[in-house]
Amino acid sequence: MRSDAPGLERIRTLVTDHNKVAPIARLLGARVLSVEAGRVLVEFAVKPEFMHPGKVVQGGIVTAYADVCMALAAHTLFDHGEFLSTSSITVNFLAPLTEGPVLGEGAVTRKGRSTVFLEAALRDSSGTEYARSSSVGAIRRPVQK
């Protein structure tokens, strides 16, 4: 993985400045814990409003946790102005998520010129795995005028 991409340093700043995360990440209570080229570890809050009546975190929220992890991992390898557009995402729910915090690990499995392949795992602090996800994303670049 490319360790000199401008995106790596930008994402690393999120470890110490949690206010710079995207609004959706703030909504999810995300705190970036560690960053390497192509890999991130993020802690997420489990808020009462994320639970459905069965006292389990709603699947869309779990999917959002995974998507944020994968997007951050991708951005560590991006150049200035590049951004991720998720093309597809698959989530396998392995166990009901009933309390937090949740640790999400996002990783790039392969990056091409215009496409990136990603994966994420969501666990608790004892290692119980709640979900695994994979995603394909398009690497978008600013339009030159």
Can you give the pLDDT at residue 50? 95
Sheet holding 39-44, edge to edge: 31-36, 39-44, 102-111, 115-123, 129-140, 83-93
- Kindly state whether residue 1 falls inside one of the protein's structural domains: no
Provide the whole-model pTM.
0.92
Phi–psi pair at 112, nearest 5 degrees: -105, -165
Please state, in angstroms and rounded to a whole number, the distance separating the CA atoms of residues 79 and 94. 35
Two structure tokens written together for 19: 């206010």
Residues 6+ apart with CB under 8 A from 80: 6
The number of distinct structural domains making up the chain is 1
- Kindly state whether residue 24 falls inside one of the protein's structural domains: yes
- Kindly state whether residue 145 falls inside one of the protein's structural domains: no
Q: Average pLDDT for residues 72-80, to the nearest whole number?
A: 93
Q: Average pLDDT for residues 83-107, to the nearest whole number?
A: 95
- Kindly state whether residue 11 falls inside one of the protein's structural domains: yes
- Kindly state whether residue 62 falls inside one of the protein's structural domains: yes
- Kindly state whether residue 64 falls inside one of the protein's structural domains: yes
> Tell me, what CATH number does 134's domain have?
3.10.129.10
Average pLDDT, the chain: 92
- Please calculate the CA angle 143-3-111 and round it to the nearest 5 degrees: 55
Nearest to 64 by CA among 109, 117, 28: 28
- When comparing pLDDT for 63 and 17, which is higher? 63
- When comparing pLDDT for 125 and 36, which is higher? 36
- Kindly state whether residue 39 falls inside one of the protein's structural domains: yes
Does the pLDDT value for residue 52 go beyond 80?
A: yes
The DSSP code for 145 is: -
